[in-house]
Structure 1
Amino acid sequence: MSQRSRVVNLYKTLLHLGKDYPQGFEFFRTRLHRVFLKNKDETDPEKIEKMISHGNYIVKELEALYMLKKYRTLKRRYYNEQQ
């Protein structure tokens, strides 16, 4: 897979994950767009790889954040804290 397609795929993934962002989708989308535009002229393949790996790290962090949020919601909903 070429670097360009990986970057586009990463952007789409992050955009999809941004729908559940706590501060709102519009906040997330504008910041994401700004970051990708800032680095659009980068040509060094090593730097691009580094940025892609950092983006994948962000994806994993967002997924963990959402799972934790769901876990806390379920815990609050089904387990009564009577201590």
Structure 2
Amino acid sequence: MESQRSRVVHLYKTLQYLGREYPGGSQKFRQKCHDIFLRNSKETDPKKIESMIEHGKFIVKELEALYSLRKYRAMKKRYYDDKS
């Protein structure tokens, strides 16, 4: 089983990677993500850390859904006219 530290690092890297396509601006997203991880870096309670990891995974899924929807809309716009 992976340690919590390695899971947190993996989550951070995943969010930083996904943040490069964020609609509100990649730099703003990445900085906000960095600030949140830095603010919670002193946490030692394993249950609270686990809860934060689960919340981070939820954010990853939401970002992936957002990007998929954006791609779908672009493809639909490309192939279908808006009159239907």
TM-score by length of 2: 0.96
Q: Which residue of 1 aligns with 2:36?
A: 35
Q: Which residue of 2 aligns with 1:72?
A: 73
Q: How does 1:52-63 map to 2 (within 5 A)?
A: 52-63=53-64
CA distance in 2 between counterparts of 1:26 and 1:2 reads 29
Give the number of equivalent residue pairs: 83
Q: Which residue of 2 aligns with 1:26?
A: 27
Where has structure 1 moved over 6 Å in runs of 4 or more? Answer: none
CA distance in 2 between counterparts of 1:42 and 1:82 reads 54
CA distance in 1 between counterparts of 2:9 and 2:52 reads 13
CA distance in 2 between counterparts of 1:48 and 1:15 reads 19
Q: Give ranges in structure 1 of 5+ residues lacking alignment.
A: none
Q: Which residue of 1 aligns with 2:82?
A: 81
Q: CA RMSD in A?
A: 0.7
CA distance in 2 between counterparts of 1:25 and 1:51 reads 22
Q: Which residue of 2 aligns with 1:15?
A: 16
Letter in 2 for 1:67: S
Q: Give ranges in structure 2 of 5+ residues lacking alignment.
A: none
State the 1:19 CA deviation.
Answer: 0.6
Secondary structure at 2:29 match in 1: helix
State the 1:82 CA deviation.
Answer: 2.2
The answer to whether residue 7 in structure 2 is matched with residue 6 in structure 1 is yes
